[in-house]
């Protein structure tokens, strides 16, 4: 089946839908990582709808029951899956692979998968419900995730190692890894970046959502990571800085020629993009909805 061609209008509409859906989850569940949805919606939709060359999903389009880790040995994982995940990408080594490091962005990934038909919209009804795989902090059993993620899960290094293996074996697929700027304070990320440049992994692209905030506040006030672009270049990476809300800029940046070098796409974003109702809270890692603000947030949701 040929891949659907999405217009920029389709991608922008999907990004808007993602922000609205996650605000709705905030209202329903009492809170969510809404600022991350605001900053990264265009990045995810552009990657999935315009950049990534993925095989068809081998997993169920619906949410799956998940009893926890470790699970029973007889769990019915998707046939052909390379890992214990759902929405398992077709293991065609000439297709791309996507690794999700910023695992607290899970709701954004799930909603993106729903927008492009890789999972059902109904699956998101099980978001953060105990006993189901649609967890708020995603892992290898969650849709779209290859591995237990986060910087402590060393996702970027797993992605880099996969790119190295692909290059050694002559596979044509490209490896993409999504991370956020707070993670770039972690030393293991920079060990990976050094190794990727040394091995000339020009099949490897890192996309960073640089929204300027982390759990403890503004990134610059905790452990400043700037000048980020210069740091990547000093490590031997082809580096492009863009507006992370510009669909054309994201797509163009991901297609930048980088022969002999890995590619870093630094997306400068706003954690309240499209959601002025949360602007007074910034910086805010996790948005809580309670009796004090539920009516206000509900009115804004309905206006969307």
- Cβ atoms of residues 39 and 269 within 8 Å: yes
CATH class (in words) of the domain with range 21-64+79-138+156-303:
alpha beta
Q: Where are the domains of the chain?
A: 21-64+79-138+156-303
- Cβ atoms of residues 148 and 99 within 8 Å: no
Q: Is residue 70's pLDDT more than 90?
A: no
Peptide bond into 6 cis (omega under 30): no
Q: Please give the Cα distance from 211 to 225 (Å, whole number).
A: 12
Confidence of residue 117 (pLDDT cuts 50, 70, 90): very high
Least confident range of 118-127, 146-155, 251-260 = 146-155
Confidence of residue 139 (pLDDT cuts 50, 70, 90): confident
Give the DSSP per-residue string, 66-112: ---SSPPTT--PPTT-SSS-SSPBP--TTS-EEEE--GGGHHHHHHH
Q: Rounded to two decimals, what is the model's pTM?
A: 0.93
Per the document, the length of the chain is 304
- Cβ atoms of residues 16 and 273 within 8 Å: no
Q: Is residue 85's pLDDT more than 80?
A: no
- Cβ atoms of residues 107 and 33 within 8 Å: yes
Orientation angle between helical segments 294-303 and 8-29, nearest 10 degrees: 160
| Mean pLDDT value across the chain | 91
Average pLDDT (274-280) is: 97
Q: What is the pLDDT of residues 159-216, one digit of tens each?
A: 999 999 999 999 999 999 999 999 999 999 999 999 999 999 999 999 999 999 999 9
Q: What is the pLDDT of residues 26-39, one digit of tens each?
A: 999 999 999 999 99
Assign 194 to helix, strand or coil: helix
Q: Please give the Cα distance from 237 to 206 (Å, whole number).
A: 10
* Cβ atoms within 10 Å, residue 230: 10
């Amino acid at each position: 089946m040929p891949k659907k061609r999405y217009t920029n209008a389709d991608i922008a509409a999907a990004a808007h839908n993602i922000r609205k859906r996650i605000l709705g989850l905030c209202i329903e569940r009492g809170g969510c990582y809404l600022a991350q949805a605001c900053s990264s919606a265009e990045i995810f939709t552009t990657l999935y709808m315009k950049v990534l060359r993925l095989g068809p999903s081998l997993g169920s389009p619906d949410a799956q029951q998940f009893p926890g880790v470790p699970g029973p040995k007889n769990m019915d994982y998707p046939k052909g899956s390379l890992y214990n995940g759902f929405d398992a990408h077709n293991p065609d080594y000439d297709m791309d692979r996507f690794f999700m490091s910023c695992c607290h962005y899970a709701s954004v990934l799930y909603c993106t998968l729903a927008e492009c038909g890789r999972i059902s919209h109904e699956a998101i009804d099980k978001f953060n419900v105990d006993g189901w795989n649609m967890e708020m902090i995603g892992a290898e059993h969650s849709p779209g995730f290859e591995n237990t993620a986060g910087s402590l899960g060393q996702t970027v290094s797993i992605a880099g190692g996969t790119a190295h293996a692909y290059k050694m074996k002559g596979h044509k697929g490209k490896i993409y890894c999504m991370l956020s700027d707070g993670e770039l304070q972690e030393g293991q990320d920079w060990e990976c970046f050094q190794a990727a440049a040394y091995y000339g992994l020009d099949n490897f692209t890192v996309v960073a959502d640089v929204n300027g905030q982390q759990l403890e506040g503004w990134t610059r006030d905790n452990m400043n990571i700037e000048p980020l672009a210069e740091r990547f270049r000093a490590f031997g990476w082809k580096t492009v800085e863009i507006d992370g809300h510009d669909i054309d800029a994201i797509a163009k940046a991901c297609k930048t020629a980088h022969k002999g070098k890995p590619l870093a796409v630094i997306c400068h974003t706003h954690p309240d993009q499209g959601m002025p109702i949360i602007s007074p809270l910034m910086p805010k890692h996790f948005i809580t909805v309670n009796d004090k603000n539920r009516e206000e947030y509900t009115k804004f949701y309905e206006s969307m």
